[in-house]
Amino acid sequence: MGAWWSGPVATFLNTDPDRIGERLAHEAGRRRFSSEPQQLRAWATQLDLLRTTLTALPQTAGWQILFEFPIPRLGGRIDTVLISPDVTFVLEFKVGASQFDAVALAQTEGYALDLQDFHAGSRRHPIIPILIATEAAQPAQTSPLLLGSGVTPVLKCNAPNLTELLSDLARRTLTP
């Protein structure tokens, strides 16, 4: 059971976001999940934000993006997994949220740990979980440069600072 939509970042950037949203809604219905208007708006916001962010990154060749990636534990799904040659990002979006609550932080960390446990390809590189509360006042936070593998502490970010955070992390973690 794979992601509801996945592909190279270049394919994502060249695909109409409405088509990706339709695919996500179709997969939700197929799996008997609700596609409430709120969920559809959240996906649209997430797709737009990621399109802007990934277009601004200097280097995404070889990167993959996965939407609604299922995790066996409790039937959870990671909003977005972004895989570069050197690091895996777990992106959990809380569209409209203005705070980083403890439940969302634990959820994001749990997804990263589950990815490490259940996705063999993620074990060789650092896994960086990022909680994006789109309306939070707090700017992005970064952590020290990572070496080796494993899950880092959850980083917190708002929508306006996602591009800066991912650019900084990519610059510091990707091999030249």
* Nearest CA-CA partner of 147 in 120, 118, 172, 166: 172
Q: What is the pLDDT of residues 83-136, one digit of tens each?
A: 998 899 999 999 999 999 999 999 999 999 988 887 666 677 889 999 999 999
pLDDT at residue 39 is higher than 90: no
Measured between alpha carbons, how far is 124 from 150 in angstroms, rounded to an integer? 8
Residue 162's identity, in one-letter code, is L
Q: State pTM to two decimals.
A: 0.92
Specify which of 49-58, 66-75, 115-124 reaches the highest per-range mean pLDDT.
Answer: 49-58
Q: How confident is the model at residue 34 (pLDDT cuts 50, 70, 90)?
A: low
Q: Please say whether the beta carbons of 29 and 23 come within 8 A.
A: no
